[in-house]
Chains A and B, each alone.
Chain A
Amino acid sequence: MKRAHPGSPTAQPSALHLLHVGSMDARLIGLSIERHWTRSVRLVETLEDAQVVLIDCDRPGIEAALDQLAGHPRIGIVYYAFHPKDHAPRFQPRPVLGKPLNLESLPATLAQARADAAHVIAAAPPRPIAPPPAASAPAATPSAPAPLGHSLMTDDERDLCGGMDDIPATPGSPLPDKLFFNPDDYLIGRLQQALALASASGRPHLISGLPRLIGIEPRPVPVCITAFRENQLRPLAMTQLPESTGRIVSTPIIGEGDSPPLQRAAEDFLWNAAAWAARGRLPAGSDPYRPVRLRAWPNFTCAFASPHAMRIAALWTRTQASPVEIATRLGIPHRYVFSVYSAASFAGLLDTTAEHENAPAAPPSPPTPSDRPARPSILSRILRKLRDAV
């Protein structure tokens, strides 16, 4: 993958204000600017200083953001959404990009939006006339109770698991390209290579070319060592890395000069990096209809638990089933199961060997209240107490 070299209309970097953007996206974009775009984009804190703004159409409160822009016709606007086609009619002629953002081309898009806005003499306020598009969640009758997991997503859930619709329950239809991600484009691909090389050679291996140290020590149990802080790792893992970044090199020792580096079991580290890269997608080449199982629970005291991840682990460690089947049994959107599948596959916790003959009989469905009189209600209440307290 080549680095983008946007054809900026001026020599000055575009002054970008993240007007209506989730915290995760803000960190991700900030990191990209810091690392790659210092000549083409600079972040500004206020709308008054901005030449171009970025707006996430899927975040609640977009109307208020648009109201703020009403008095600033010379500010360029770039929108982005999980379903850009749904929003394009509303915001045309301004661009609506798809999620996840293609960070290679974003600087050029920002520069173009800035240039277009500079030509506006007296534009109408950008507030749209058409009503906002209907929610892109799976169709459901308004009166029907929302199935578990289909309730309104929080910003974090969108950031971490995307907003992709379910795929067909049975194979046959072509699957959308956006269902899959290429791990080689992300940190997880580099980590996987480093782990394989470290395990095969018995020597520590580093990922070179990143702003801070990150590498794998084989030891008896492989460990990931990094000088990135926890809050930097997530945006780094979600960012597509240029092809030239992240060569794997052997090293006699990891950690010299960096103090004190963070150490994590490689299994936990790869789980997290994969879950953050996946954002509710599957690794390229995966079959969402193929039965698999989790050979063990992930270490959830360190491993990132996406929505419903513990329920998924509880069911998937006891039964062999496809990701789509697991989602169906639990009554949750497919993207949550795809997230766990992706994380488990890179953490080495996915058992893909066919065991149809030896597999224990799969439970038809998780126990329901009628299966265990009185018990589930108290379990649910304890769970709620723990969830609210932690």
Chain B
Amino acid sequence: MIYGALAMTTGLPVAMAQAMSAVVFAGSAQFIAVQLIANGAPALVLLLTTFVVNIRHLLYSASVAPYLAGLRPGWKWLLAYLLTDEAYAVAILHYQQTDARHRGDAEDAESRRATPRPRHYYLLGAGLALWLTWQLSTALGITLGAAVPPGWGLDFALPLTFIALLAPVLKDRPAIVAALAAGAVALIAAGWPYKLGLVAAALAGIAAGAWADRRSAPIVAPASYSGHAPGGAVARPDADAETDPLAQDVP
């Protein structure tokens, strides 16, 4: 809904705003694309940014692959389209729980390997429900957004949305380092042509975060005392990244 409303405030045609929900079907990438289109970014930058923003789906793809291994190709192609952050989060939890329930029963595990139970219906159901919700809420947002007069500064709701999405992902030191480095480079590179500053900043942030990750990796205990903690965020090394990235991808 927020996406649809924001697309209207930036002047994106109704058909395109709705089509993007159907074709791309990835909330955060759509938000960013709307912003880039409004700023006049060229096609190549939009495609590049989409790639960088959505590359995290490789994780989901790798993670659900074992559960879908026995399916016919048609199923795999359909389920891949529905594999959003939320669908993945819901489905992987379900799969892991049902796995845990059956663990220890060797015979069951053996028979399951031979004939996989039709567990893909779970991902299909979650994916379809989320898809329908996303399409309808986009349409509703478009209707509402078109009714809001310009001059309310509603374009500001876009960075506010990103702030809301950023807060929950800043849960360990590498993530905070990545955010600060990306933010600093983005400030310096804001004037670059073709909006390439965003891509450069994102890559710099990922590199800086990976460097911080490598430095802190050998330390087992939480290293909250060995330096400053920017932003006052609490380091939670136990919180694993099973489902974290942009968990509100399809609000």
The answer to whether A and B assemble together is no
